[in-house]
């Protein structure tokens, strides 16, 4: 018996054989499926275990090494590693790698450009599709890593969350045809879980950084709010642990040019945490001479952080040599500006090279913003106090000047007090001569000043290379904060240490009387406030000079009048409106014979001839009303009883109730 179906004839014997063959095939297929399902179930179980483990770890530094080691061991792989996409989105950075080889690769900072064509990892990252190469030797353009010579098959799986590429999971095997589509499916699921874990870890780390940043800024802000001195400002800033580990923290004040660009920097405070201080408080720097300053001046809103100054391309050779001498390897320069105006900077130095994180950049940026206003307020307060002290000093020097009317003594005292009170290297005063052609050194501080005066030191008014002459010619103050850069500076061998000089004209009533010249051993010593103070002082000195000159003239006049008064052969005297003599010259005694004391003891009419008393009283009454006596004659009794005719000329002083008179013996 035979059965025909679809053109095929089945016999009993043939049907039985084919059926047995079919059953065998089905059994084989079922066995394969069971094995595949078993392997897949096992892989899913392993992947699930890895996923469960990684969800409990929030520290990337622990999370990723655990992932690669667990993946490598659980799936019996030759090598496993995880790459993370960097912030620029241009490179895949090796973040974790299994075994000793992995540690070597990590130590080298291994990374793969995302655009690299001969890299499975890069291609996977670009396409965001898993890739299997089951025989790498047959893969055209395959990039083989010399540290992994036994790789025969490789599978790369993208780590993606919400459409964003986080990185790539890379797995390698020593066996050809090791990876299947099932492996790819399982590992893709695992890679997705890893991506989520990485994102969670990053979110957690960001939250921790934010909390840390908030705590740091809170502590720093609280301290800054209470800071009233330079030292307290630095103490507040050093609350940041990284700064506290520095070797030194330096607060610098800046002085700007007319355009607002920092011209000078002065060390205002120094917190030395390690080693010896390389910068003394008060030390000043002329910034145009320092090429490195251009970097931070050009970025007033951004801290300049240099992890290793010796290898940085930003640092010039001269600056590197300075850093080498001071053993500085890491540096941070934090600008301090208020409304776009420079007020200073904070310089932080480390003996060791530094790695600056995003948190560092944010913290230093916050320090820049919050510290600037405090430094500005502190500077304003200090300047107010300094101005008060200096004005008090001006008053002190002015009082000394006005209390002495002898010119030489007064100016010598002023020179000495100015140098001492303002902590200067030297101070001296020049006065214009009568011809107004030369500035004559009239007084100078200390022995040097006295020596220069004794030498008859003077400067022609028209001398070009003289700051003193220029100040007198222009009637304006002149400041030179670096004499090496000033062609008009006139050096003096007696003052070899001069580094800065200020010459201020002494003016009164619009007339230049001379110049107050002050010098310092410190470059950059003089600023606008100093000029204002010294200009005020110079004006006071000018008034004192004018007063001294007036006094000298008055003294000469008084001496001349005294000689006339004493040596005159005519009677000169004064009497009050009560009828008594007040002052009488020696001629009275010579002409009348009575002593001055005798004449003052009795009313003056008691010496008048009795016949002339009424006439004399009438004339005195007229004088008492303000009339002038042009010519009046009466007789005065001499000591021997005789009388002499006297011709009088008299004028009254109603305010003093006194009349002044001269008389001639006729």
Write down the pLDDT at residue 626.
87
Residue with tokens 């204002």: 532
Write down the pLDDT at residue 462.
93
Q: How far is 401 from 132, CA to CA, in rounded Å?
A: 98
> Do residue 6 and residue 106 come from a single domain?
no
Q: What is the overall mean pLDDT for the chain?
A: 86
Is pLDDT of 234 > 80?
A: yes
Average pLDDT over residues 282-309: 87
Name the helix (H) or strand (E) containing 64.
Answer: helix 60-74
Residue 602 lies in a domain: yes
Structure tokens that stand for 421 in this block: 């009170």
Is pLDDT of 628 > 60?
A: yes
Q: In 404-445, where does DSSP find H-type helix?
A: 407-421
Is pLDDT of 33 > 80?
A: no
Residue with tokens 């000495």: 416
Residue 584 lies in a domain: yes
> Do residue 21 and residue 66 come from a single domain?
no
Please state the domain count of the chain. 5
Write down the pLDDT at residue 562.
84
Per-residue pLDDT band at 345 (split at 50, 70, 90): very high
Containing domain of residue 593, as a range? Answer: 568-665
For residue 140, report the phi and psi dihedrals to the nearest 5 degrees.
-65, 135
Write down the pLDDT at residue 14.
53
For the chain, how big is the Rg over CA atoms in Å?
A: 51
Per-residue pLDDT band at 81 (split at 50, 70, 90): very high
CATH of the domain at 600: 3.30.450.20
Write down the pLDDT at residue 34.
47
> Do residue 598 and residue 526 come from a single domain?
no
Is pLDDT of 29 > 50?
A: no
Q: 401 or 616: whose pLDDT is higher?
A: 616
Q: Given the DSSP bridges, would you call strands 153-161 and 131-133 parallel, antiparallel or unpaired?
A: antiparallel
Last residue of a domain, which of 315, 348, 383?
383
DSSP-assigned states of every residue in 502-569 = EEEEEEETTEEEEEEEEEESSTT---HHHHHHHHHHHHHHHHHHHHHHHHHHHHHHHHHHHHHHHH-S
Distances (CA, A) of 98 to 120, 121, 146, 541: 18, 16, 16, 85
Residue 538 lies in a domain: yes
Per-residue pLDDT band at 47 (split at 50, 70, 90): low
Lowest mean pLDDT among 183-187, 424-428, 439-443: 183-187
Per-residue pLDDT band at 334 (split at 50, 70, 90): very high
Give the helix, strand, coil percentages of the chain, each rounded to 5. 45, 25, 30
CATH of the domain at 475: 3.30.450.40
Last residue of a domain, which of 516, 551, 586?
551
> Do residue 376 and residue 239 come from a single domain?
yes
Q: What percent of the chain shows pLDDT beyond 70?
A: 91
Convert the pLDDT of each residue in 352-400 to its tens digit.
Answer: 999 998 888 888 898 898 899 999 998 888 888 888 888 888 888 878 7
> Do residue 412 and residue 546 come from a single domain?
yes
Name the helix (H) or strand (E) containing 438.
Answer: strand 438-444
Q: How far is 530 from 516, CA to CA, in rounded Å?
A: 13
Q: How far is 139 from 461, CA to CA, in rounded Å?
A: 92
Convert the pLDDT of each residue in 242-267 to its tens digit.
Answer: 777 889 899 999 999 888 899 889 99
Write down the pLDDT at residue 204.
84
Structure tokens that stand for 607 in this block: 């010496």
Write down the pLDDT at residue 54.
63
Is pLDDT of 31 > 70?
A: no
Structure tokens that stand for 261 in this block: 């660009």
Q: What percent of the chain shows pLDDT beyond 90?
A: 47
DSSP-assigned states of every residue in 176-199 = TT---HHHHHHHHHHHHHHHHHHH
Judge whether 446 and 464 are in contact, CB under 8 Å.
no
Average pLDDT over residues 182-204: 87
Convert the pLDDT of each residue in 418-437 to its tens digit.
Answer: 999 899 999 999 999 999 99
Convert the pLDDT of each residue in 263-279 to its tens digit.
Answer: 889 999 998 888 777 68
DSSP at 446: H
Convert the pLDDT of each residue in 477-498 to its tens digit.
Answer: 999 998 888 887 878 889 999 9
Average pLDDT over residues 107-116: 94
Q: How far is 73 from 80, CA to CA, in rounded Å?
A: 9
Name the helix (H) or strand (E) containing 379.
Answer: helix 358-403
Last residue of a domain, which of 551, 579, 600?
551
Residue 51 lies in a domain: yes
Cβ atoms within 10 A of the Cβ of 660, count? 17
Residue 394 lies in a domain: no
Q: How far is 251 from 233, CA to CA, in rounded Å?
A: 9
> Do residue 234 and residue 362 come from a single domain?
yes
How many residues does this entry show for the chain? Answer: 666
Structure tokens that stand for 450 in this block: 């006295």
Residue 65 lies in a domain: yes
> Do residue 522 and residue 603 come from a single domain?
no
Q: How far is 132 from 178, CA to CA, in rounded Å?
A: 9
Average pLDDT over residues 64-78: 89
Per-residue pLDDT band at 40 (split at 50, 70, 90): very low
Nearest partner of 459 among 517, 401, 545, 511, judged by Cα: 517
Residue 217 lies in a domain: no
Q: How far is 585 from 209, CA to CA, in rounded Å?
A: 100
Write down the pLDDT at residue 7.
54
Q: How far is 204 from 54, CA to CA, in rounded Å?
A: 14
> Do residue 595 and residue 538 come from a single domain?
no
> Do residue 123 and residue 192 come from a single domain?
yes
Nearest partner of 461 among 477, 475, 472, 476, judged by Cα: 472
> Do residue 362 and residue 256 come from a single domain?
yes
Per-residue pLDDT band at 16 (split at 50, 70, 90): low
Average pLDDT over residues 537-560: 86
Q: How far is 480 from 84, CA to CA, in rounded Å?
A: 59
Residue 558 lies in a domain: no
Write down the pLDDT at residue 500.
92
Angle, to 10 degrees, between the axis of helix 181-226 and the axis of helix 12-54? 10
For residue 98, report the phi and psi dihedrals to the nearest 5 degrees.
-75, 150
> Do residue 482 and residue 599 come from a single domain?
no
Name the helix (H) or strand (E) containing 92.
Answer: strand 91-97
> Do residue 373 and residue 413 come from a single domain?
no
């Amino acid at each position: 018996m035979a059965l025909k179906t679809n053109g095929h004839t089945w016999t009993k014997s043939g049907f039985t054989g084919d059926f047995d063959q079919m059953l065998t095939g089905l059994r084989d297929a079922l066995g394969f499926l069971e094995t595949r399902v078993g392997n897949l179930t096992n892989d899913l179980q392993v992947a699930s275990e890895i996923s469960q483990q990684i969800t409990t770890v929030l520290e990337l530094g622990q999370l990723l090494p655990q992932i690669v080691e667990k993946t490598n061991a659980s799936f019996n792989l030759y090598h496993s590693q995880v790459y993370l996409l960097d912030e620029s989105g241009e490179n895949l950075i090796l973040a974790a790698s299994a075994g000793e080889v992995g540690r070597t690769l990590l130590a080298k900072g291994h990374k793969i450009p995302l655009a690299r064509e001969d890299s499975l990892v890069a291609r996977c990252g670009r396409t965001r599709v898993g890739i299997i190469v089951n025989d790498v030797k047959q893969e055209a353009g395959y990039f083989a890593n010399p540290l992994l010579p036994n790789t025969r098959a490789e599978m790369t799986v993208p780590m993606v969350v919400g459409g964003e590429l986080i990185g790539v999971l890379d797995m390698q095997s020593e066996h050809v045809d090791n990876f299947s589509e099932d492996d790819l499916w399982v590992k893709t699921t695992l890679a997705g879980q890893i991506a989520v874990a990485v994102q969670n870890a990053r979110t957690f780390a960001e939250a921790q950084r934010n909390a840390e940043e908030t705590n740091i800024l809170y502590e720093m802000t609280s301290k800054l709010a209470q800071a009233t001195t330079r030292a307290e400002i630095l103490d507040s800033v050093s609350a940041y642990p990284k700064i506290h580990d520095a070797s030194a923290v330096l607060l610098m004040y800046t002085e700007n040019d007319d355009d607002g660009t920092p011209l000078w920097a002065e060390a205002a405070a120094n917190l030395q945490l390690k080693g010896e201080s390389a910068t003394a408080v008060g030390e000043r720097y002329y910034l145009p001479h320092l090429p490195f300053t251009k970097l931070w001046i050009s970025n007033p809103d951004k801290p300049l952080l240099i992890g290793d100054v010796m290898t940085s391309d930003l640092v010039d050779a001269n600056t590197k040599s300075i850093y080498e001498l001071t053993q500085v390897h890491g540096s941070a320069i934090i600008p301090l500006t208020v409304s776009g105006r420079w007020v200073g900077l904070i310089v932080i130095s480390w003996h060791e090279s530094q790695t600056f994180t995003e948190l560092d950049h944010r913290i230093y940026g916050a320090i820049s913003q919050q510290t600037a206003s405090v430094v500005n307020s502190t500077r304003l307060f200090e300047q107010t106090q300094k101005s008060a002290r200096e004005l008090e000093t001006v008053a002190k020097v002015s009082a000394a000047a006005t209390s002495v009317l002898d010119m030489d003594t007064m100016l010598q005292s002023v020179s000495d007090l100015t140098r001492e009170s303002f902590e200067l290297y030297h101070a001296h005063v020049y006065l214009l001569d009568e011809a107004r052609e030369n500035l004559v050194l009239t007084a100078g501080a200390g022995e040097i000043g006295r020596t220069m005066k004794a030498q008859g030191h003077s400067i022609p008014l028209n001398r070009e290379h003289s700051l003193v002459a220029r100040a007198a010619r222009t009637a304006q103050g002149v400041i030179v904060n670096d004499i090496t850069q000033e062609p008009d500076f006139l050096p003096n061998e007696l003052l070899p240490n001069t580094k800065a000089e200020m010459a201020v004209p002494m003016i009164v009533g619009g007339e230049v009387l001379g110049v107050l010249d002050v010098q310092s051993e410190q470059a950059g010593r003089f600023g606008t406030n100093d000029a204002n103070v010294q200009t005020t002082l110079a004006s006071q000195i000018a008034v004192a000079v004018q007063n001294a000159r007036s006094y000298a003239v008055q003294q000469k006049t008084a001496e001349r009048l005294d000689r006339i008064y004493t040596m005159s052969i005519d009677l000169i005297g004064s009497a009050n409106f009560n009828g008594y003599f007040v002052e009488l010259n020696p001629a009275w005694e010579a002409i009348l014979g009575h002593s001055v004391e005798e004449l003052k003891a009795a009313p003056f009419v008691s010496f008048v001839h009795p016949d002339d008393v009424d006439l004399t009283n009438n004339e005195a009454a007229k004088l008492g009303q303000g009339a002038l006596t042009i010519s009046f004659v009466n007789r005065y009794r001499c000591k021997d009883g005789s009388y002499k005719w006297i011709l009088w000329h008299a004028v009254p002083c109603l305010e003093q109730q006194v009349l002044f008179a001269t008389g001639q013996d006729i």
